[in-house]
Structure 1
Amino acid sequence: MLTSNGYVLDERRLGELVAVPEGDRGDRGLLRARLQRDGYLYLTGLLDPATVSAFREYYFELTGAAADRASYRKVLFEEIVPGPEYAAFCTQPALKDWFEWFLGGEPFLHRRKIIRQTAPGENGIGTATQAHYDLVYLREGSDHVLSAWIPLGDCPVSRGGLTYLEGSHHRVLAEEAAGRLKRPAASITADLPALATEYDANWLVANYRAGDVVVHTAHTVHAALDNVSDDMRLSTDIRYQRADDAVDTRWQQHWHDRDGL
């Protein structure tokens, strides 16, 4: 049984996130068409699993010594987020070079990069990322910004990875074109089953492995599942775009959970 923010997902509204076949990975035109069609690119094994595992170990070495919530927040926002280790991970050649190739120009990485940790058994409204699409938080820049969601370690479905609402970007694009903009920035809902019914679409899930990356558009609706496993779920989401496109200047400070974005 899969849940998100305590809501039980309808098994009849579940599907599988489809990975890009190895034979298609080097065809930029095909990948762009696939992204336009599906709203996401599931790139298995894009990163070296050892690099991912090393960053996970670094993260827990620093946060594991935190005695309380205040100490944890201090380590996260004052050491890890602005630190060179995190910067190096997010600009590693396997990522930066891929975006340069795919975008066909100099890539720009937004400084505001997010790390999410979910402990086993955490559930209820506000625990898991609610359904949303990223553009509502990035209105002051290009709508061609791409998000990369990266599980920091293996993340089977039970550990609470991201789930994508199938084909949702087509409806969102139409609503955006019609001027029905989401203002102020806000998630759509925590009730994923109801949203699947409204969109007449499935929530797509996957058993992610260390090294996998999912790239999605700013219009693709996604959310997180609850962690019902016995291990910590850790992930990061970062955003790349072409450097010569308009940039949302609000996203050029290091992430803090009280930054108002």
Structure 2
Amino acid sequence: MAAPHLTPVAADELIYERQQLPKLRSNYGGHLNQSSVGWLKKTPADTSLDEMRMSFEADGYLFIKGLVPREDILDVRQRCFEHLRSTDILKAGTEPEKGIFEATQDPVVHNGVCGRDLPEDLERQKLLKSAHTLPVYLDFLEHSDFRDFIRRLMGWDKDVILKRTFLRHTIPNGLSTGCHYDRICLRAGEDFLIAWVPIGDCAADEGGLMYLEGSTDIGVAMGEEYMESAEYLTPEERIDLLNQNMARDEQLSHNVVELDANIKVKSSSSKRRQWLAADYEAGDVVFHNPYMIHGAVKDENPLARVRLVTDLRYYREGSRVDERWKRDVLRLYDRL
């Protein structure tokens, strides 16, 4: 198949508009068939709240374009990479905001995926952890455009963000997030809202998220099946990410083709579900519910940009939350 036609939006930006998605795959396994992939539905930031709520309820996600000013997101990206510069993550002579990876570096040194396989060097570990307390990042978490929107969308007077946030970078062709639904790792407490924020431009084949279309019902069924199988466990064991009934590292799979085939076999629905992806730009935000199945696309883009994203979880103030996730952000890499 011929490579998809790419049209630069601006000569000085690495952003592209294209009619067809590139080939997508996860950490392991082959590429998805092109008939199995599609585009996420875009929602302009000026869409009415009623329309947004109906779309979120129907689709399980809300992909909002330009919710946060682009320059604010790029400022976070620049400061984060300046903070990590001493790890030699960036190619010499490149601007921190661009986040161009130094290909000669050992990939393990730059694993930012939820703290797994951290480098042995304690100074490098310290830099990865302390990035979560950079003033520019903490300011973003309180960004008025962002937080006010969440409250209006959800109809909440006040919201609570869990202290345990995931600020993570993924290098080109490195290990990224497997396929999962978020309720897996927050089984205690009530349901919550997830915001996935690309900190910088992130094309579909640069490690952006892909969502299994209409998969909320599948996530709910998987959760119920798990709870039935864990009836003999204590309440503490049921919510433990590492108990014997859980998949390794709380992912459903790191092979999206294999997972897709298994879901089709198990699903009673005749509906054809695609994996939906997007060419994300700085300022975009995707909100999804706790049962929506999703995972990162393998970063195979030749631009060699480092993917930098954050995962945030919100509750209505007064809701019952998973207490384990209220720990200080510096304990992100501890076992829950």
> TM-score scaled by structure 2?
0.70
Moved over 4 A (4+): 177-184
Identity over aligned pairs, percent? 31
Tell me which residue corresponds to 1:189. Answer: 253
Whether the aligned pair in 2 keeps the contact of 1:55 and 1:152 (CA below 8 Å) is: yes
Tell me which residue corresponds to 2:311. Answer: 237
How far is the alpha carbon of 1:22 from its aligned partner?
A: 5.2
Whether the aligned pair in 2 keeps the contact of 1:2 and 1:225 (CA below 8 Å) is: yes
Q: Summarize the Cα distance change of 1:61–1:159 in structure 2 as closer, same or farther, 3 Å threshold.
A: same
Tell me which residue corresponds to 2:133. Answer: 82
How far is the alpha carbon of 1:72 from its aligned partner?
A: 2.7
How far is the alpha carbon of 1:249 from its aligned partner?
A: 1.2
Q: Summarize the Cα distance change of 1:45–1:21 in structure 2 as closer, same or farther, 3 Å threshold.
A: closer
Question: 1:223-258, CA deviations, whole angstroms, 9 ceiling, x for partnerless residues?
Answer: 001111221111111111211211111111215453
Q: Partner letter of residue 287 of structure 2?
A: V
Whether the aligned pair in 1 keeps the contact of 2:24 and 2:298 (CA below 8 Å) is: yes
Query: Bigger relative contact order, structure 1 or 2, given CA contacts below 8 A and separation 6+?
Result: 1
Q: Distance in 2 between matches of 1:41 and 1:72?
A: 35
Q: Distance in 2 between matches of 1:206 and 1:255?
A: 31
Worse overlay, 180-189 or 240-249: 180-189
Among 161, 164, 171, the residue aligned to 2:208: 161
How far is the alpha carbon of 1:175 from its aligned partner?
A: 4.2
1:1-261 equivalences under 5 Å are: 1-10=23-32, 11-21=34-44, 25-27=47-49, 29-66=50-87, 69=119, 70=121, 71-77=123-129, 79-105=130-156, 106-122=158-174, 127-143=175-191, 145-177=192-224, 179-180=227-228, 184-185=240-241, 186-200=250-264, 201-229=273-301, 230-253=304-327, 254=329, 256=331, 258-261=333-336
Unaligned runs of 5+ in 2: 1-22, 89-108, 110-118, 231-237, 242-249, 265-272
Q: Summarize the Cα distance change of 1:121–1:174 in structure 2 as closer, same or farther, 3 Å threshold.
A: closer
How far is the alpha carbon of 1:85 from its aligned partner?
A: 2.3
Tell me which residue corresponds to 2:95. Answer: none
RMSD value, Cα = 2.0
Question: 1:138-168, CA deviations, whole angstroms, 9 ceiling, x for partnerless residues?
Answer: 111111x111100010000121111111111
**Partner SS for 1:65:** helix
Q: Distance in 2 between matches of 1:141 and 1:150?
A: 23
Q: Distance in 2 between matches of 1:142 and 1:219?
A: 12
Whether the aligned pair in 2 keeps the contact of 1:103 and 1:241 (CA below 8 Å) is: no
Q: Partner letter of residue 88 of structure 1?
A: D
Q: Distance in 1 between matches of 2:279 and 2:135?
A: 30
Q: Distance in 2 between matches of 1:172 and 1:180?
A: 14
